[in-house]
Structures are given as C-alpha cells and as structure tokens.
Amino acid sequence: MEQRLSIVALGVVDLAASRRFYEQGLGWTMSSAGNESIVFMDMGGVVLGLYGRDALAEDAKLPPGEPGGFGGFTLAHNARSREEVDEILSEAAAAGAKILKPAEDVFWGGYSGYFADPDGHPWEVAWNPFFPLRENGTLALPA
Amino acid sequence: MEQRLSIVALGVVDLAASRRFYEQGLGWTMSSAGNESIVFMDMGGVVLGLYGRDALAEDAKLPPGEPGGFGGFTLAHNARSREEVDEILSEAAAAGAKILKPAEDVFWGGYSGYFADPDGHPWEVAWNPFFPLRENGTLALPA
C-alpha cells in the first residue's frame, strides 16, 4: 500500500448547509464531480469530500453513532504567520463556525486555535515555525 | 482561508501499537519530526498524524467520547486498478487490520472496500475510473 491519502470524507447531517459553509462562508471552490448527494473539494494534494453522515457510515459498514461529539480526529490548516491564524479564525467565526479554542501560544512552540464546522468537525488553524510551507502551500515535513 | 488541508490527525489509544501498524504493517515511513507522543507521516501533499486520543480531544477542547465507533469521517486511498484494491486489502488484513467491507463493485461505478486501523478509523481502498491518479499518485479531481 503506497503511502498516500487520496480523500478525507466528512459525514454531514445537512449537506446543503455544510456546502454553504465551505463554499460561501470560507470561499472555497467545489469540483464539478459532485452532485446533490456528495461534494468534492481539491485541497491541494488531497481531496475533501462531504457526504451524508448515515450514508458514509453505511458505506463503511459502521453504525452511524451520534453526530456532534469528538470523532477521534482533527483537521489542520497551517497558516503562514501568527497574524494569519487570527484572521482565519475571525473569518471562520463570521461564516458561522463555532470557535472551540481561540488562538494561543502552545507548548510545542507554535500558535494555534480551533473552530468547528456545522457538524462539529474540528479544524485546527496553526502557525508552526518548525514546519515551513512550500510556495504551493503544502507542508514541508522533515524527512 | 486558503483552500488547503495540511494535516489529518488521528486520535489513538495506544500510540506504539498504531505506529507499528502503519510502520511495520503497511511499511510506511515516519518523519523525524515525531517523538514518543506524536507521529507524522508524509502522505504526498498532506500529512497524517497519530496522537493520543484524549490529548487530541483536549487540544481541540472537546470531550473525548468513546473510541471505536464511527467518528463521522473516512479516509480513502485510491488505487490504480481493481486488482490493486484486492492486494491492498489483503496486505492490510495481514498487518492486523479488521476488514469492514470486502471489496465489491459499487453503485457509483468503481470498486471499493474498507479496513479499520487499530483504533477503528476506517480506510476505504477504492478504484475510481472517473478520478484518474497523476504520476505522483495524487488524485486528479475534475475542476
């Protein structure tokens, strides 16, 4: 199995509301590959999908469980500066996101906060001086 | 907020066991940026992290909840052929993964199955004739 992640699919309760949050709220572009039951976004090297929560659980043959709690994962968007972290959290809040944690200096030497999307999926917005970003925005992880 | 996903962090109950699964079981390379409490893998455009489940929930200021159920998300690895899907699922099973769904023809025209990692995080392994892979393995999503 090659060391690759192709798609992260998020289960959502209301696809129209989630799409509105990402498309109108954050200003992201949806791929033409989507339809009324699934949405895909090119995240620069990986694809983010939005799909009905029950349908996604059923696809993986898992019981759906309760939405809204911690799902055992977080998504992170690494910003280019401390100031950009604050700007992005403000933008997310203006788009209707719940701020889970305002940005603060963190023990590992960076600056980070969290917002939740309409289904409670947590996005960390972080500035990490040890993980520089390449020109194209991807994270330059040490080998 | 730029349309980018930098890191997917998975909350794990036993970091050593999870690391063993991905490193020895699937044969993936860990970044030197990790330490005894966190592990990072370069997934070709996005980074996959493994971190203690309770610590990850605490970082996002969320109650940890019960591990093992559906977390409202799936990860997908797109393969280059139908045959490769079968090979990868066999490899994952040999590495100790639970097969959630053996590969089958699916309604959207592809071929797909699922395995669960040691914490139950679901990985879809799929061949999708509508989403070709680039030479470097990233998914060529229609604009």
Mean pLDDT for A45-70 is 93
pLDDT at B66 over 90: no
Q: Are residues A85 and A39 in the same domain?
A: no
Question: Is B1 found in the same domain as B54?
Answer: yes
Do A45 and A10 share a structural domain? yes
Cα–Cα distance measured from residue B143 to residue A23, given in angstroms and rounded to the nearest whole number: 14
Are residues B78 and B59 located together in one domain of the fold? no
User: Which DSSP helix (H) or strand (E) runs through A84?
Assistant: helix A82-94
Written as one letter, the residue type at B137 is G
Identify the CATH number of the domain in which residue A18 sits: 3.10.180.10
C-beta atoms of A75 and B47 within 8 A: no
How many distinct structural domains can be found in chain A?
2
Q: Does A40 lie in the same domain as A14?
A: yes
The CA distance from B22 to A24, in Å, is 37
Contact across the interface for B6 and A48, Cβ inside 8 Å? no
Question: Are residues B117 and B15 in contact, defined by beta-carbon separation less than 8 angstroms?
Answer: no
Cβ contact, residue pair B40, A141, below 8 Å: yes
Least Cα separation, residue A44 to chain B (angstroms): 6
Contact across the interface for A3 and B73, Cβ inside 8 Å: no
- What is the C-alpha separation between A97 and A123, in angstroms, rounded? 10
Query: Has residue B97 got a pLDDT over 90?
Result: yes
* Nearest CA distance, A129 vs chain B (angstrom): 12
Residues A56 and A84 in one domain: no
pLDDT for A58 equals 95
pLDDT classification of A66: cutoffs 50, 70, 90: confident
The confidence score (pLDDT) of residue A41 equals 97
Same-domain check for residues B49 and B98: no
Judgement on whether residues A92 and A38 belong to the same structural domain of the protein: no
What residues make up the domain containing B55? 1-63
Does residue B143 belong to any structural domain of this protein? no
DSSP annotation string for B83-105: HHHHHHHHHHHHTT-EEEEEEEE
- Decide which of B63, B84, B117 is a domain's last residue: B63
Flag whether pLDDT at B78 surpasses 90. Answer: yes
What is the rounded CA–CA span in Å between residue A37 and residue A54?
12
In chain B the first and final C-alpha atoms are separated, in Å, by 19
Do residues B4 and B54 share a domain?
Answer: yes
Q: Tell whether B59 is within 8 A of chain A (Cβ).
A: yes
**pTM of this prediction?**
0.94
- Looking at B22, B39, B63, which one is the last position of a domain? B63
> Can you say how many angstroms the Cα of residue A13 is from the centroid of all Cα atoms in its chain?
16
What is the structure's pLDDT at B64? 87
The string of pLDDT tens digits covering residues B98-114 is 999 999 999 999 999 99
Residues of A with Cβ-Cβ distance to B69 under 8 angstroms? 62-63, 65
Q: Which residues from A are below 8 Å from B53, CB to CB? A: 72
Asked whether residue A131 is assigned to any structural domain, the reply reads yes
Starting at the edge strand that comes first in sequence, how are the strands of the sheet with A73-78 ordered?
A: A98-105, A111-116, A122-127, A73-78, B7-12, B47-52, B38-42
What CA–CA distance (Å, rounded) separates A78 from B5? 8
Residues B8-36: tens digit of each pLDDT: 999 999 999 999 999 999 999 999 999 99
What is the count of residue pairs from A and B with beta carbons less than 8 Å apart?
240
Give dist(CA B42, CA A30) in Å, integer. 25
